[in-house]
Amino acid sequence: MNLYEYVGNQPVNWVDPLGLFKWHGNWGGPGWTAGQEKPESQLTEKDLEVLPLDERNECYRGHDICIWKDPCDIKNCDHVLAQCLSNISPFKSYFWGTDQGYPVDVISEASVFNTLIPYIYHRKK
């Protein structure tokens, strides 16, 4: 397991001491769903109208809806997110980094969601 993937393998140049930076678009990131700061468990039907910005963001939207529907299925939702991210083509610009400028490619990001790190984060909430 690479412990520096969350900073794009550049721990000197990129830091995230709390692991809370917004990853991508309207749906991607811890505590960031439907374009606002709130946990997945507090999604509403109206929130579902917020459109994803791209395919990477669509993966996060599916993840958030999965947790909203079944908060006890976090590990499976994380695994499905990792699978979705893994299917994104490297020829897409958003494959290589987020719209917030974080140089995290989707393969590195997907590998993190196949660990217990996100599960532990969700369980703390």
CA distance 117 to 125: 13
HSE value, Cβ hemisphere, 13 Å, CA-based, for 124: 9
For residues 40 and 111, the model is more confident at 40
Give 4's pLDDT tier (boundaries 50, 70, 90): low
Domain ranges of the chain: 25-36+44-124
Tokens describing residue 8:
């794009």
Tokens describing residue 73:
């299925």
Answer yes or no: are the C-beta atoms of 57 and 81 closer than 8 Å: no
Give 93's pLDDT tier (boundaries 50, 70, 90): confident
Q: Look up residue 66 and give its amino acid.
A: C
Name the range with the highest mean pLDDT among 70-74, 93-97, 105-109: 70-74
pLDDT tens sequence across 26-71: 888 777 889 888 888 899 999 999 999 899 889 999 999 998 999 8
pTM: 0.73
Tokens describing residue 103:
């140089």
Give 90's pLDDT tier (boundaries 50, 70, 90): confident
